Chain A
């Protein structure tokens, strides 16, 4: 008996030592496996985020012999008081989001209900509706530029439909129609993606709820109002937030189709940030606009948190 009691502790200590050295080795290997990703995230995400903050309080230029100087809040004051194009970009971006978010999400939901029907060949339809999503936005923008030309597709079709009574409009050259034209193609391109997200929400609703509703003898509208819609709450929050953030980031269509014109009618926050910060090399000011864009995105993410928490 005494022998065993003396042996036990030493064995334990030995085990512990080897276990702790194994644990140390495990931690070292884990850091090693994580390090390539961590290094890349630090270099191309962490430091740029800090730079966005830091540069927005300076007058840094992309290529300049002078080091950046700290200028406090001057960039932000300039944006809101001395740069009408910035104000125009801000309101354009808000307008774009306010129109695109309800139209696109509503249309996507209607399409999702449609492609959720159990009819033959529905997968083929789903595939076709999804095709614009995989098409590059640059290609889409150039293609639609042709549709919007004065002698382009849309005017020709309208001319045919009205029997020659249509007066051709150069949609993208007109301050009143340029933004609506960009809105239309943006909805067309992304509606398929949101349809698919709604669809996975629809398919996550317990079929038993529909059976119970059928027993209660509800009609189509009541079934949607009391079973489908409540079941889609978290999907709805998610879709609204992603569409809003994507809408705030509007850039490619504007850059390809209108370059912000005519008369700043289609300039947006990101477009203005790239124009100032990159093309005019005014990095400090461009960073300040990027930061304002980021604050808008952050605010929406926080609202999303709120809305989903209420759900729990």
Chain B
């Protein structure tokens, strides 16, 4: 109680002093409302500051991509740097496509990302299903081994992995069928395969599939359904949100990956967007074009993020906590 009256007197000291030792109920309520209003103003101030700091570099990039270099430098140090004003055009975008095969880079990243997410959903959900709903010897050992790999950051194995994939065979399409080639470097396979099996995704699938009542399986088996049918016709259709979560958490790193493709892709035509951007950055000092390239590979992700904001944030936060 003493604490409470302390805060009260500090927020409405004058009113309390006027009313004597025991402030009236009305003045106390008024005081509380004033505190609330003040904390609300402070909250908005803090939120606005944080949002401005978070967003200004992105706004700068997007608007600068529409300006000429001389315009960019002229606007620096003024609020105009963060506004789409002055001599605006899409010339920088044209410049990017003229300088490097940016369309090819984007297509490469789309192929790699779609393959990682698509194959990952199938492969990880299958093992998740086997672990959570079927009886077999060794599944607990498998699950603990899978979870143990979560402790190994990719950076640890990246260098030896290059040594290893340079020796693994890759499959190529030729006119007369499949062709095996020594070494996986400069292929889509080497950009896709290491990211398909994902311990966190397996863990999430196993956890959520385990929440679906097991009686469903028994009923389906009595009706003559096999395990593949139960997986495809019952468990997968019931687990839409889990598939969406896994898709989101595997999509972002796939689209943004840099270290791995940097080491295994030298051929220009196989580069993904991030490596292509670094290459363009070193090649070309025209800032407007660099901003255009950056906008080109960031804006689609930002738009998808804003549309699916809720599930995005939830899945990233949820998996982070569970992992």
Which residues of chain A have a CB within 8 Å of any CB of chain B? 23, 26-27, 29-31, 33-34, 36-38, 40-41, 43-49, 51-52, 55, 60, 62-63, 111, 114-115, 117, 119, 122-123, 125-140, 142-147, 151-153, 156-157, 159-160, 188, 192-193, 196-197, 199-201, 217-219, 222, 235, 238, 242, 245, 249, 251-252, 255-256, 270, 273-274, 277-278, 283, 286-287, 290-291, 293-294, 297-298, 301
Contact = CB atoms under 8 A, between A and B. Distances in A.
Nearest to A274: B159
Interface stretch (B17-25, B49-57, B95-103): B49-57
Given A48-B164, A277-B162, 7 more contacts: A114-B50, A125-B51, A138-B256, A156-B76, A199-B317, A200-B321, A290-B155
29 contacts: A27-B135, A30-B136, A36-B126, A37-B126, A38-B197, A41-B149, A48-B157, A48-B160, A49-B152, A114-B47, A114-B50, A125-B47, A125-B48, A125-B50, A127-B305, A132-B57, A134-B302, A136-B256, A136-B273, A139-B277, A156-B76, A217-B3, A218-B3, A238-B321, A270-B155, A277-B159, A283-B162, A290-B160, A298-B151
B129 interface: yes
Contact of A30 (B73, B134, B164): B134
B301 interface: yes
Given A37-B202, A41-B149, A135-B298, A217 B136 contact: no
Interface stretch (B38-46, B172-180, B237-245): B38-46
B294 A139 contact: yes
B140 interface: no
Contacts of B318: 200
Nearest to B309: A127
Contact of B161 (A44, A123, A159): A44
A290 B256 contact: no
Nearest to B227: A29
Given A40-B123, A131-B58, A137-B256, A283 B153 contact: no
Interface of B: 1, 3-4, 6-7, 40, 43-44, 46-48, 50-51, 53-55, 57-58, 60-61, 73, 76-78, 81, 122-124, 126-127, 129-131, 134-137, 139, 142, 146, 149, 151-153, 155-164, 166, 168, 193-194, 196-197, 199, 202, 226-228, 231, 252, 255-256, 258-259, 262-263, 273-274, 277-278, 281, 287, 290-291, 294, 297-298, 301-302, 305-306, 309, 312-313, 316-318, 320-321
A49 B158 CA distance: 10
A272 B299 CA distance: 32
Contacts, number: 285
A273 to B, nearest CB: 5
Nearest to A242: B320
B159 A290 contact: yes
A115 B153 CA distance: 31
B261 to A, nearest CB: 11
Secondary structure of the B contact surface, majority rule: helix
A160 B136 CA distance: 70
A237 B163 CA distance: 36
B76 A153 contact: yes
A33 B281 CA distance: 44
A255 to B, nearest CB: 8
Given A36-B126, A142-B278, A156-B77, A27 B7 contact: no
